[in-house]
Chains A and B, each alone.
Chain A
């Protein structure tokens, strides 16, 4: 599809397709994955994985000075029948099975949490109501760990809601049994001072389907790192994201899909709108197709809509392919601008300015929102987008 690229000043969009003998996704990290924070040097900001992040605004999550306070976050879990919810200690063997921390803040979270939540959906249980996890910031520092585990052929929707004010570093594990279907919607609707850094690890079982929807609206710094790998062939992952970055906010979404197993699929689509001075959105899309992963089918896309001057986008899709025996692989990134000419065109057709802006933003997000497949979440998102626009006009 031909697409005009209108790159505003201050944005970068880079892409690469590498055919590599050695995984550069792994080698460009400062240290190998580890559960122990001591294995990671304190970042100074020039490391590949930190170069877009304002370390000075992480409130000490990256250098060990952030210490958990009693009033960090309040976690409430509402689960329908057929679901087991437990609070467990650090030694529970179900923790950390879906993935290992890959950067210092994720390792800090794993080294520092005291209690973890484990939510288990029994095999073959098909939930008709979502599991709702509310993480409400109380103004303090917190380190969290959550595990969502689905037995074979179980089906569930999890809505993970972040609100309030906090400095939070967390890891979330999703473990999908064979043939399981899990949809996770993680909403970052923080108050304006909040800092949230999280690594999400999904381990997708044989013929299982994982859908992740990351929605980021609020907070001072939000950095979410969803990662997917496959335990066996036949798995599918859809990673959707939607963000609305306002003046002064830093919203960073870094993804990794590790095609380590044959005949798996992945589809990544992230869209963001930015408005206001120093609004900064970062999107890093890493897809790795390992030599063993024959028959892989993958596509990733990032689109950004810059609504005002003063906003900045860094969008870096990165596809690494170690086998030619694949079904398909592609990526796309484009950053466009809602400019005065578009506004003039719509207004010259009688459409008032505020409505013209709404029309463009709604149109931009509509297709992605429809793919979420959860009507109440979709409505909530659209309402939230409207509210963001109202606030800006």
Chain B
């Protein structure tokens, strides 16, 4: 069973006046089949955690370890992490002009699976995944994220999640900017992947709204660059009622 273990993770970014520490000792273990919600106020470092795990060059790990089934994730390049089974659904997916969605998906699936998917089954696979996410087939011929609406970008991220079948899925504010219908469809996509029992999910969010559709096994409150409280789904209800105020003092300065 795949397990992602984050131990005492410290991460800095380069700021104008030297490096600034954003993550100040994160500990978290995510097992295949589990869903962890990480919730916290803006600026608490949630997205830094997501991007650091995926290996974004902007973030420098200054301490701690991240392993996937014992393998050192921090030693891996960005593409190696993806091939090892780490997937990041981004809050702000990037436009890639000149590369069609269908070409991108196939190139990516080929890289992740280690061989090109058979064309005939691949076409069916993509088509049915797109149908389930209520995506127009014409979408496949558009350039990656170019001119996509907010909802289209998020559907496209979840489409990749469904096709690439990672061991660990990190969803960075997938709910932001979505209307209720889009939120439901995107959540259903995430749930289809979760129901396979083959993925460990790290759901990063500011709002409790998405947790009505995606039920977490664990909820962690993130503040000041670390996890300050962990509990079950009931912790989300508490946050819904009381907000993050109680944590902003406890967690230290949160920008």
Contacts and interface: CB of A to CB of B under 8 A. Distances in A.
Interface in A313-358: 336, 340-342, 344-353, 355
B160 interface: yes
10 contacts: A305-B98, A342-B95, A345-B90, A348-B54, A348-B78, A349-B82, A349-B164, A351-B79, A360-B96, A363-B97
A342 B96 contact: yes
A359 B107 contact: yes
A363 B83 CA distance: 23
B77 interface: yes
B79 A347 contact: yes
Interface of A: 2, 4, 305, 336, 340-342, 344-353, 355, 359-361, 363-366
B97 A364 contact: yes
B125 to A, nearest CB: 16
A4 B98 CA distance: 12
A351 B107 contact: yes
Contact of A352 (B79, B90, B94): B79
A336 B95 CA distance: 11
> Ordered nearest first, which 8 A-B pairs have the shortest CB separation?
A363-B98, A350-B111, A364-B98, A350-B82, A349-B108, A347-B78, A345-B94, A363-B99
B54 A346 contact: no
Contacts of A361: 98
Nearest to B92: A341
B32 interface: no
Nearest to A353: B79
Contact of A360 (B81, B93, B98, B146): B98
B94 A341 contact: yes
Contacts of A4: 95, 97, 146
Interface string B136-163: 0000000110110000000000001000
Interface string B96-114: 1111100110011001100
Q: Is the interface of A mostly helix, strand, loop or mixed?
A: helix
Nearest to A356: B79
Q: Is the interface of B mostly helix, strand, loop or mixed?
A: mixed
Contact of A350 (B95, B96, B97, B112): B112
B82 A363 contact: no
A348 B143 CA distance: 17
A359 B104 contact: yes
Contacts of B164: 349-350
Given A349-B164, A351-B79, A351-B108, A359 B93 contact: no
Given A351-B107, A365-B98, 12 more contacts: A340-B57, A341-B94, A345-B90, A345-B96, A346-B104, A348-B54, A350-B108, A351-B79, A352-B111, A360-B96, A363-B98, A363-B143
Name, among A4, A305, A350, A352, the residue most crowded by chain B CB atoms within 10 Å (CB to CB).
A350
Nearest to A361: B98
Contacts of A353: 77, 79
B14 to A, nearest CB: 13
A344 B94 CA distance: 9
Contacts of B88: 348
Nearest to B95: A4
Nearest to B145: A345
Contact of A363 (B77, B90, B94, B100): B100
Contacts of A345: 90, 93-94, 96, 144
A358 to B, nearest CB: 9
B147 A2 contact: yes
B56 interface: yes
B159 to A, nearest CB: 12
Contact of B78 (A344, A359, A363): A344
Contacts of A344: 54, 56-57, 78, 94
A325 B88 CA distance: 54
B195 to A, nearest CB: 23
Nearest to B146: A4
Contacts of B83: 350
Name, among B77, B82, B100, the residue most crowded by chain A CB atoms within 10 Å (CB to CB).
B82
